[in-house]
Amino acid sequence: MIKNRLWLIPFCVFGLQPLLHAQDMAGVDTEPIPLHLIEAASNQREIIISGLDSLKTLSYYDPLHTAEDSLVFNRMRKIQRTIPLALNEKIKSYIDKYISRNYNPYMSKLQGLAQYYFPIYEKIFSENQLPDEIKYISVIESSLDPHLVSRSGAVGLWQFMYPTAKIYDLTMDSYMDERKDPYAACYAASRYFLDAYDEFNDWLLALASYNCGRGCVRRAIQRSGLQNPDFWQLSPYLPKETQDYIPKFIAMTYALKHADEYGISVAATDLAWEATPIMVEKPVNLQQIAHAVNLPVETIKKFNPAYKRSVINASTEKPKRLILPDTEHLNDSLLYAALNNQLEVSTSMLANVDDTSAPTTPKRPSDSATRLASASGKSTTKRTVTYTTYTVRKGDTLSHIAARYKGATVSQIKTDNNLSTTRLKIGQKLKIKKS
């Protein structure tokens, strides 16, 4: 059916061109084409071009047997972006599970958590020029639970094992475990996916390696004897869990993209407030922060799951990230005192805070980032900036280099090195700011 329609596109898109030049061919006395016809044709062209996404096929699919198969197939094509999607019996079985009545409470919970975590992931992936769809891997890995610990010892939203977390510069000590930090762990995952895609040049294999390891994928390629295989070709040579991993990812992507159509609602969570991450350079007591924003300390800890204690051991040499929910009853004076470790001499202000009051209603902040930065007192803090030097290698891009260094961004590297473009030369020296 698709092929039968393809001949219409050149006519609809370009069919107006002879009309537009008709007066040139017929002479200058020919009456001009009415403006409304030109506008109508232009609008039709835009509609057709915007619909070209629906003509994309999937990377792999089984024969379609039912009307439901066709519906899912067409929806899948329309949501396909950078990462190639597919539709086969295994994927359909997972879709059926995720959209079932039994799974509805679980999926609604995921939808609620996604409202908080997905914007964080999307921003980080955009900074590193990674496909937005990778965010659904975190759903498969942890069900968006930062405290999840697997049977093999993997921890956090992106389920990092200890050795891999060390490779990607995540801090794990008696005070914190950055595998549970939504920002730090996502930056580390970004670096992994960039490295994996650089090696395999196939997004599904890069994602598969996140489950079984890059070494496992390398060995599978060697056993297969295939040259540059895609995931579906290599799947029989991969562990059973990894064979199921990509179908689960694709099915979850589809189900959450079409949550409304399947009656999957957005469940309420304790992360409903807009939140602002700030870097603190002094020890901070989370109990005092809770007083300042008028929320239970348990809620503050849910926004800051990486910290094992009620005190953040920040310093000028090792600043730490504090995620602050912004409530309509946030007390700037208390917040300033808490962020500057002065609250023990400001007990009179605590009398104005009702510890037994119910949590305030979530709201969207207007100038919260400015206000919180001001309250942190960072404008008066002087900090020595240090850099490391990186030598550009073959195949490097600014986004790949930025992803290798914690806290680095493409724009910051360009600024620090006075770069007007993203073009690099092999052997070029770049200074990278240490976070």
For 373, the token pair is 């930065």
At residue 309, does pLDDT exceed 90? yes
Rounded CA gap, 305 and 242, in Å?
Answer: 28
Identity of the residue numbered 122: E
pLDDT at 241: 98
Neighbours of 55 (CB within 10 A): 13
Which uninterrupted H or E stretch holds 433?
strand 429-433
Question: How do the domains of the chain map onto residue ranges?
Answer: 1-55, 94-262, 275-379, 387-433
Rounded CA gap, 168 and 151, in Å?
Answer: 22
Strand partners, 278: 322
44 touches 14 (CB < 8 A): no
- Annotate 24-38 with b (16+ C-beta within 10 A) or e (fewer): eeeeeeeeeeeeeee
Of 121, 237, 228, the C-alpha closest to 182 is: 121
Q: How confident is the model at residue 50 (pLDDT cuts 50, 70, 90)?
A: very low
Please determine, looking at this structure, whether the domain spanning 94-262 carries the CATH number 1.10.530.10. Answer: yes
Q: List, for residues 158-174, the tens digit of each pLDDT value.
A: 999 999 999 999 999 99
Q: List, for residues 85-137, the tens digit of each pLDDT value.
A: 999 999 999 999 999 999 999 999 999 999 999 999 999 999 999 999 999 99
Q: How confident is the model at residue 410 (pLDDT cuts 50, 70, 90)?
A: confident
Mean local confidence (pLDDT), 204-225? 98
pLDDT at 313: 94
Question: For the chain, what is the mean pLDDT?
Answer: 83
pLDDT at 25: 45
Of 159, 156, 153, 201, the C-alpha closest to 177 is: 156
402 touches 413 (CB < 8 A): yes
For 417, the token pair is 């090195």
Q: How confident is the model at residue 407 (pLDDT cuts 50, 70, 90)?
A: confident
Q: List, for residues 344-383, the tens digit of each pLDDT value.
A: 564 444 444 444 344 444 433 445 555 555 555 554 444 5
Q: pTM surpassing 0.85? A: no
Identity of the residue numbered 38: I
pLDDT at 427: 84
Domain 387-433, CATH: 3.10.350.10
pLDDT at 433: 85
207 touches 137 (CB < 8 A): yes
